[in-house]
């Protein structure tokens, strides 16, 4: 099976099935897809995505991102889910990012962002699992703007709920570094390739070696989310149940639909 789909115009579009679980089962291929935003899909790539039989798109982007760069229609039968949150703003616009030309400072800011994400995105993460329940095993696409941070955490939690070992969860997260060249998309597309407005976006003003700390998927980033979850709730399982409503019956249902 192909994990990184050959879609030249797509951003980080891939299948995150196929991973073995701790009890020896395997996540079904062709059920769970993760991606960046799909506003740049070419007509031919869009047809290939439509052919996947997707029945739900779970959009983790903020309202302003969705409004400025709407996804193309995948068909009348596809349900699109998104979430509104009061005061929702990108933490990447904070001074830790915009006021620094020091890679170490930016990396620490990224780690801080990942520490905050599990609770800051709680309603969206809960919505992801609700969307999976409603899809009942039909193919879904989970995405944000570039498919790395918000999508990375959400996909990691989905795989964790299905019983995939932490090592494989990190493997899937880090695959972003092979699946897409975010630096090339930023530079060659004058920002448009990542959905950035204008040439003065702070990312484009950072030195390349500093900007890389924002664009890369780094194990320390996802580890910060897991450490935050375990520090607050004791375990990922407890977080899934207490914060996201993913109890034992829900996990059993997801396993029945998504594992083989």
Which among 143, 119, 126 has a CA at the least distance from the CA of 229? 119
Residue 246 β-bridge partners? none
Yes or no: say if 148 and 12 are a contact pair by the CB < 8 Å rule: yes
* Tokens 């949150």 -> residue: 85
Tokens of 75: 């068909």
Taken in order 61, 67, 72, 74, the sign of the CA dihedral is positive
The sign of the CA dihedral 129, 134, 137, 141 is negative
State the catalytic residues: 144
DSSP state of 186: H
- When computed from its CA atoms, the radius of gyration of the chain, rounded to whole angstroms, is 17
Contact of 21 with 162, CB cutoff 8 Å? yes
Q: Contact, 70 vs 195, CB < 8 A?
A: no
Q: Strands of 17-175 (E only): list them.
A: 32-35, 56-59, 79-81, 140-143
In this structure, the chain runs to a length of 260
Neighbours of 6 (CB within 10 A): 9
């Amino acid at each position: 099976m192909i994990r990184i789909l050959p879609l030249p115009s797509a951003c980080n579009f891939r299948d995150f099935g196929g991973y073995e679980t701790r009890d020896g089962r395997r996540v079904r291929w062709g059920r769970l897809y993760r991606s960046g935003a799909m506003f740049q899909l070419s007509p031919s790539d869009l047809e290939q995505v439509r052919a996947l039989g997707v029945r739900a798109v779970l959009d983790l982007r903020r309202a302003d991102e969705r409004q400025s760069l709407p996804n193309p229609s995948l068909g009348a039968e596809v349900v699109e889910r998104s979430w509104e949150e009061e005061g929702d703003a990108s933490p990447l616009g904070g001074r830790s990012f915009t006021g620094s030309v020091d890679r170490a400072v930016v990396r620490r800011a990224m780690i801080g962002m990942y520490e905050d994400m599990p609770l800051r995105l709680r309603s969206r993460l809960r919505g992801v699992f609700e969307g999976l329940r409603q899809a009942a095993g039909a193919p879904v696409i989970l995405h944000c703007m570039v498919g790395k941070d918000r999508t990375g955490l959400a996909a990691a939690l989905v795989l964790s709920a299905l019983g995939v070992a932490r090592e494989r969860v990190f493997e899937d997260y880090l695959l972003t570094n092979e699946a897409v060249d975010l630096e090339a998309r930023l530079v060659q597309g004058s920002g448009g390739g990542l959905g950035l407005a204008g040439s003065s976006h702070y990312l484009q003003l950072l030195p390349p070696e500093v900007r890389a700390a924002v664009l890369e998927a780094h194990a320390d980033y996802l580890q910060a989310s897991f450490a935050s979850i375990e520090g607050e709730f004791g375990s990922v399982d407890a977080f899934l149940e207490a914060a996201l409503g993913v109890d034992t019956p829900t996990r059993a249902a997801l396993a029945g639909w998504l594992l083989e």
